Structure 1
Amino acid sequence: MRPAAMKITDVLNGQLWKQMMVSGAKALEIKKHDVDALNVFPVPDGDTGTNMFLTIQSAARDAEKITGQSIGEVAAAASMGSLMGARGNSGVILSQLLRGIAKGLEGLDTANSLQIAQALQSGVDTAYKAVMKPVEGTILTVSKETARAALTRAKNGGSLLETLQEAQQQGFKSLAKTPEMLPVLKQAGVVDAGGQGFLVILGGWIAALSGEAEELDFVSGAESPPKAEIQEPESKQEFVQVENLDYPYCTEFLVKGKDLRVEQIKQDLSGRGDCLLVVGTPEVVKIHVHVKNPGKILDYAIQWGSLHQVQIHNMLEQNENMAHAMKEKALAADSEPLAEGQELKEFGVVAVAMGQGIADVFISLGVDEVVYGGQTMNPSTEDLAEAVRKVSARQVFILPNNGNIVMAARQVKDVVQDCQVHVIPSKSIPQGIAALLSFNSEGDADTNIKNMERGMSSVGSGEVTYAVRDSQYGDLTISQGDILGLIEDVIVTTGKLLFEVAQSTLEKMEWKTHDLVSIFYGEETKPEEVERLQDWLQEENPSIEVEVHPGRQPLYYYIFGVE
């Protein structure tokens, strides 16, 4: 059922802001594939629109849960939703924009045009601070010019609608200039995808504000976005003795009330279990904790307000099928069984993998939890946070293994409080493996970070995939369906034959000057192609070690590592 159209107003309350958020999400849902198509590289990972949509949808969904009329309360909920649902760099930047907007609206029941414009500026300031090396010609520039125009119009007496319309018009002018700011955009003949996605969302806000949201064919309560699949590989054997699990009940719920004190609740629950997460606003708080007695936690929480979405899982029951596998592995490794009451281990590792075979390699090297994702399927901050909370360690290292996941991984620090999170900014599978091989469970965190980053930098990474559209990239004329070779995410060669492009990619990686070549072949790569490539390497230089693994990754025929 379509929602009632909003009346044009010069004052926004929480209910109207909620409708604008949902309308913005629906607008991007309609246009997400157009935004995806603005990908600079013609490789099958153009997912900016999809990532931004899933992020804003998560924000809108959390906003819809708020029953109050306060715009500050709804904006805070949307901010938290976007934080947990953020996917990819574009989604993380969008979540930071919404976070800053929430800061600007904090404590307000309603907001006029000037306050909305100031909140937009707060969003821009927050987003710029969140990016380590801000690049102009991106969503940052577009949002900055948008906020600047909004402030100017609002200060000159513009209404809410006029303010946002002026902001959007200036945003499109800024978007049109992005190819002049970033040569890579000009070369590809596209504008910045993130900036385009932001303006689509802003268009949804304007449509809702002007009473035209129904033209978006909008449906409230859309289905949840597909989560990056976090499944247990068949070869994984967990190191958890079921009978020694001190806090067997995973307890998660929402508390709704007034004047909820997040820090006080966090302090009161500290020490009552492990994997504690307490986040939220003065009106709604999300609690996640592993405990011995869920009843005591619920009895405590109900003093603050009403309980909602209560979920309790018996982890003893969930894990008992793995107990025998753990014991067998402990015996095979000639290691002593865990002592009863043993404390958490000091370090744990979470890694992102884009194929079952790659996941198996990480697990064999000691990774505790694998999050499945990569190109076209970036895991969200929440996906990564869930994996971190599963690791029984005081400190957890995250290996994103993809440049588009690093920012989402860094946000995990904001939502996981019961352990220390370290992000090693690996941008490829070979980098992640090299970092992991440099990890020493007996060392301290600072030394491990230095060693892992040093190890990561010692490996060269290459990939072979295919072109999803015609394109001109530098001196390369690319046709849809061509085979592409990339080194460190830069297209270096193209052709019609997989073997020839794989050869060319490796040669440009100067593989003969290294000691080891690692090959992870994809789910669509034929065994005879792999064997042919391996034979060529051994014939060309028999002294170099060649490791071949069935990575089973989608979209990419090969992933290469040289070191």
Structure 2
Amino acid sequence: MRPAATKIISVLDGQLWKQMMVSGAKALELKKHDVDALNVFPVPDGDTGTNMFLTIQSAAKDAEKNNSQSIGEVASAASMGSLMGARGNSGVILSQLLRGIAKGLEGLNTANALQIAQALQSGVDTAYKAVMKPVEGTILTVSKETARAALSIAKNGGTILETLQEAQKQGFKSLAKTPEMLPVLKQAGVVDAGGQGFLIILGGWIGVLTGETLVDTFNEVDSSSKISDAGSTEAKHEFLQIENLDYPYCTEFLVKGTDLRVEQIKHDLLDRGDCLLVVGTPEVVKIHVHVKNPGKILDYAIQWGTLHQVQIHNMLEQNENMAHAMKEDTDKNGEEISKETKDEEQVLKEFGVVAVAMGEGIAEVFMSLGVDEVVYGGQTMNPSTEDLSEAVRKVPAKQVFILPNNGNIIMAARQVKDVVQEQQVHVISSKSIPQGISALLSFNGEGDAETNLKNMERGLKSVRSGEVTYAVRDSQYGELTISDGDILGLVEDVIVTTGKSINEVAKATLDKMEWKTHDLVTIFYGEETKLEDVERLQDWLREENSNIEVEIHPGRQPLYYYIFGVE
């Protein structure tokens, strides 16, 4: 039910807040690719809009499942959903904004204009605290100016609608100034993507108050679902009621092929299960869904290409085991631990490792080095906090180290600490695959946690990382004039060279990395890289410096022809 456009709404309750979450998600769904296009770098990883959409989508899904009239309770549910679904730095910051808003609305059944404005300010405060080194000219600045305007209008007696409209108006003024705050935005000729995404969501919220909501329910939200996503229980001692598992099989896999249509696959699977996630590229798509019959999903997916990393978990069995374990865990007074539980505790090792990998070959290397669980992801496919949390929970260890191996995944990984309470989680700040491998080689299973943290952080700093990819649009980057389709060489995420030949750019990139002055060059070649090109590059390295050690692995990563590590 939509509020009438002419009706003045003096307070918001839980159901209105739910509609606002849904409308905000739908608004960004329609504009996510426009936000993606604001990427300052012309490389194929412009996914700010997609990451923010998947985050607000998760918030909307959890809000939809909450039928409370209390705005505080619905906001809390949305906050938990955003926490679990957060992807990328922009998604994590958005989840922190929603977390702070939920704090501001905590304990309220309804909220007036001033309380909404104060909640927005609480969101901004929480987001700033969550970022180790806040940068102005980003979503942080835009949300800060938005909240400031909201407080000003609300304190002067403005309605909720007037408050949010003025907040959005000032937010757009702030957004227009972001290129002046960040030179990299000005050079690329774009405004901040995260700030744009936030204002689009805010526009969806306003639409509920004006009667201009895009949809009454979000098209990927199953409001009849009786369970939340796996891993999102409110406390570690709670468990899902067995009879409520309508879709008991958690099914997750990759599809590889050509011309994979992500939106079409997503649409086809909408009504086949719960907790649906479909992300990827035309060559690789990741699918996660809870279903009644995994076979039907696999039969559908195999029509698109080949299946990989298929994982099917019976959540009903897991639930029953958890229930039985909890029942046996204590005696009548809840004091005596059962022998079975003691035995289970004794088999837990002290340390485990979870690593993020962007290709099957890279995943195999991590597994060969002792990683317990590999989460598929990287550029354009950032795993969520929930994905990482599920991987941590699968590791039979008291303490788990996470190797994000991508700068845009680190913040989501750090949020795992807020989700997983039964294990101690340590996040290593690895920003590339070579850094992750170097950190892993510094890990000692017999050492203590503090020493391992120091050694792994020191280890990732001992390697230089480089990549060879392609440009997705014309642009100017420093002194480099880049055309759509050009081959790009990056060192530590900075574009250092460009050209038309993959191997010539690879050589120039390695030279920028000063490879001849080091002892080891590691090369991961991508799924689209020709083997003869790899052999030619290897011959060149040997001709230029026969004393250096060269390791070559079929990384099979998408988007990147080569990933280099020099140490």
Q: TM-score, normalised to structure 1's length?
A: 0.80
- Does structure 1 retain, via aligned residues, the 8 Å contact 2:434–2:565? yes
Q: For each residue in 1:302-350, what CA deviation from the matched residue of structure 2 results, as whole angstroms up to 9, or x when unmatched?
A: xxxxxxxxxxxxxxxxxxxxxxxxxxxxxxxxxxxxx998421000000
C-alpha separation between the residues in 2 aligned to 1:252 and 1:409? 17
Match of 2:491 in 1: 487
Pair 1:298–1:31, CA change in 2 (3 A): farther
CA shift at 1:211, angstroms?
A: 0.7
SS in 2 for 1:110: coil
Match of 2:388 in 1: 384
CA shift at 1:487, angstroms?
A: 0.4
C-alpha separation between the residues in 1 aligned to 2:317 and 2:178? 42
Pair 1:11–1:288, CA change in 2 (3 A): farther
C-alpha separation between the residues in 2 aligned to 1:31 and 1:293? 42
Tell me the percent identity.
80
C-alpha separation between the residues in 2 aligned to 1:402 and 1:553? 14
Match of 1:367 in 2: 371
- Does structure 2 retain, via aligned residues, the 8 Å contact 1:8–1:211? no
C-alpha separation between the residues in 1 aligned to 2:405 and 2:204? 34
C-alpha separation between the residues in 2 aligned to 1:37 and 1:265? 42
C-alpha separation between the residues in 2 aligned to 1:375 and 1:189? 22
C-alpha separation between the residues in 2 aligned to 1:384 and 1:191? 31
- Does structure 1 retain, via aligned residues, the 8 Å contact 2:236–2:422? no
C-alpha separation between the residues in 1 aligned to 2:344 and 2:116? 56
- Does structure 1 retain, via aligned residues, the 8 Å contact 2:60–2:221? no
Match of 2:184 in 1: 184
Match of 1:329 in 2: none
Match of 1:246 in 2: none
Give the alignment's Cα RMSD to 1 decimal: 2.4
- Are 1:525 and 2:529 matched, yes or no? yes
C-alpha separation between the residues in 2 aligned to 1:510 and 1:264? 53
SS in 2 for 1:374: coil
Match of 1:548 among 543, 552, 563: 552
Pair 1:484–1:158, CA change in 2 (3 A): same
Q: Which amino acid aligns with 1:10?
A: S
Match of 2:323 among 294, 297, 300: 294
Match of 2:430 in 1: 426
Pair 1:357–1:262, CA change in 2 (3 A): closer
Q: Which amino acid aligns with 2:323?
A: P
**Deviation larger for 490-499 or 339-348:** 339-348
**Deviation larger for 184-193 or 286-295:** 286-295
Pair 1:20–1:523, CA change in 2 (3 A): same
Pair 1:49–1:394, CA change in 2 (3 A): same
- Does structure 2 retain, via aligned residues, the 8 Å contact 1:465–1:558? yes
1:249-260 equivalences in 2 (<5 Å): none
Q: Which amino acid aligns with 2:62?
A: D
Pair 1:347–1:262, CA change in 2 (3 A): closer
C-alpha separation between the residues in 1 aligned to 2:528 and 2:357? 17
C-alpha separation between the residues in 2 aligned to 1:136 and 1:4? 37
Match of 1:143 in 2: 143
CA shift at 1:294, angstroms?
A: 2.5
Q: Which amino acid aligns with 1:447?
A: T
CA shift at 1:299, angstroms?
A: 12
Gaps of 5+ in 1: 225-250, 256-260, 267-285, 301-338
Q: Which amino acid aligns with 2:119?
A: A
Pair 1:355–1:265, CA change in 2 (3 A): closer
C-alpha separation between the residues in 2 aligned to 1:287 and 1:74? 27
Q: For each residue in 1:81-132, what CA deviation from the matched residue of structure 2 results, as whole angstroms up to 9, or x when unmatched?
A: 0000000000000000000000000000000000000000000000000000
C-alpha separation between the residues in 2 aligned to 1:253 and 1:537? 47
CA shift at 1:381, angstroms?
A: 0.1
1:158-557 equivalences in 2 (<5 Å): 158-213=158-213, 216=214, 219-222=217-220, 292=321, 294=323, 297=326, 342-557=346-561
SS in 2 for 1:135: coil
SS in 2 for 1:486: strand
CA shift at 1:219, angstroms?
A: 4.8
CA shift at 1:4, angstroms?
A: 3.6
C-alpha separation between the residues in 1 aligned to 2:232 and 2:125? 30
**Deviation larger for 204-213 or 41-50:** 204-213
How many residue pairs get aligned? The number is: 471
Pair 1:424–1:292, CA change in 2 (3 A): same
SS in 1 for 2:381: coil
Q: For each residue in 1:432-491, what CA deviation from the matched residue of structure 2 results, as whole angstroms up to 9, or x when unmatched?
A: 000000000010000000000101000000000000000000000000000000000000
Q: Which amino acid aligns with 2:146?
A: T
CA shift at 1:72, angstroms?
A: 0.2
Match of 1:37 in 2: 37
- Does structure 2 retain, via aligned residues, the 8 Å contact 1:100–1:127? yes
- Are 1:98 and 2:102 matched, yes or no? no
1:68-83 equivalences in 2 (<5 Å): 68-83=68-83
Pair 1:497–1:264, CA change in 2 (3 A): closer
Q: For each residue in 1:224-266, what CA deviation from the matched residue of structure 2 results, as whole angstroms up to 9, or x when unmatched?
A: 9xxxxxxxxxxxxxxxxxxxxxxxxxx97998xxxxx958869
SS in 1 for 2:524: strand
Q: Which amino acid aligns with 1:380?
A: S
Q: For each residue in 1:127-177, what CA deviation from the matched residue of structure 2 results, as whole angstroms up to 9, or x when unmatched?
A: 000000000000000000000000000001110000000000000000000
SS in 1 for 2:350: strand
Match of 1:562 in 2: 566
SS in 2 for 1:15: helix
SS in 2 for 1:212: coil
Q: For each residue in 1:508-536, what CA deviation from the matched residue of structure 2 results, as whole angstroms up to 9, or x when unmatched?
A: 00000000000000000000111111100
Pair 1:540–1:120, CA change in 2 (3 A): same
Q: Which amino acid aligns with 1:220?
A: F
- Does structure 2 retain, via aligned residues, the 8 Å contact 1:514–1:562? yes
Q: Which amino acid aligns with 2:63?
A: A
C-alpha separation between the residues in 1 aligned to 2:126 and 2:328? 38
Match of 2:242 in 1: none
Match of 1:23 in 2: 23
Q: Which amino acid aligns with 1:103?
A: K
CA shift at 1:220, angstroms?
A: 2.9
C-alpha separation between the residues in 2 aligned to 1:341 and 1:487? 45
Gaps of 5+ in 2: 223-228, 240-314, 330-342
